[in-house]
Amino acid sequence: MKLREDEVLVPAPGGAIRSVVLRPVGDDPLPGVLLYTDIFQLTESTLRTARRLASAGFVVCVPEIYPHGDLAGVALEFDDDGKRAGLAGAAATTTAQFDADRVAVLDFLALRADTTTLFATGFCIGGHLAFRAALDPRVEATVCFYPTGLHNGALGADADAGSLALAASIGGRLMIVFGSQDPHVPAAARVEILSALYAAGLEDLELHVYAGGEHAFMRDVGARHDPVLTDLALTEAVSFFTAR
């Protein structure tokens, strides 16, 4: 599968959002996927995952999650300095800013001539952002990979973004993937998330907990990476998006 890959600037109220759009070569209309990165932004690791998803027949748009400050245009390294910078970028971004950028990117995808339905996905903080994207009635299906802060509401500059409290507004299908050995979302936190979703009336959802999976097990750099679980998770995500 040959892919086309373009860097674009998505118009947004706070300033343009640098994004990468990937799709199979051709002009056929395909489902559009908003893919949120982890705190390290547009790394080659995340883009490799985006390419795999695009090759399954999607138009994938990967925006920077910190597009308006000092980290605009910066892909962070997977080291302590990169982690500190990424966490600082999150701490400087409010939920309202994340939400405004999300609307802008979904508007951009919806207006493209080569997109049909809209989906969302994301990793780590991006998994939480994908959950908030699911609140948009245009998003028909969402896959959240090990979303952080969902159980206690922590998101960027806000101690409690209230994401779970808004779960009843989700009209599309929802799938959440965790690793069983994720210290950021341990078993008690996963139970809290599932209980809140059920209480909100979202009983028709999928929860996958992969035995032995660590946090960020899909990031293909570092000791946490699990290639087998990564392949399984991506296969399940594609199957979920295409409604099997």
Number of domains in the chain: 1
* Structure confidence by residue, pLDDT tens digits, 151-200: 999 999 999 999 999 999 999 999 999 999 999 999 999 999 999 999 99
| Residue of 101, 182, 208, 226 marked active site | 182
Angstrom distance (rounded) from CA 54 to CA 31:
10
pLDDT score of 244 more than 90: no
Q: Is 70 a catalytic residue?
A: no
Is 215 assigned a catalytic role? Answer: yes
Q: Which of 68, 151, 208, 215 is catalytic?
A: 215
Marked catalytic residue, from 38, 68, 124, 136: 124
pLDDT confidence bin for 12, thresholds 50/70/90: very high
Taking all residues of the chain, what is their mean pLDDT, rounded to a whole number? 97
Q: With contact defined as beta carbons under 8 Å apart, do 174 and 134 qualify? A: yes
Backbone angles phi, psi at 32, to 5 degrees: -100, 140
Catalytic residue check, 182: yes
**Residue whose C-alpha is closest to residue 174's, from 213, 147, 148:** 147
Domain span at 9: 3-241
Q: What is the 3-state secondary structure (H, E, C) of 38-102?
A: CCCCCCHHHHHHHHHHHCCCCEEEEECCCCCCCCCCCCCCCCHHHHHHHHHHHHCCCHHHHHHHH
Domain of 91, CATH number, reads 3.40.50.1820
Confidence of residue 1 (pLDDT cuts 50, 70, 90): confident
Tens digits of residue pLDDT in 188-238: 999 999 999 999 999 899 999 999 999 999 999 999 999 999 999 999 999
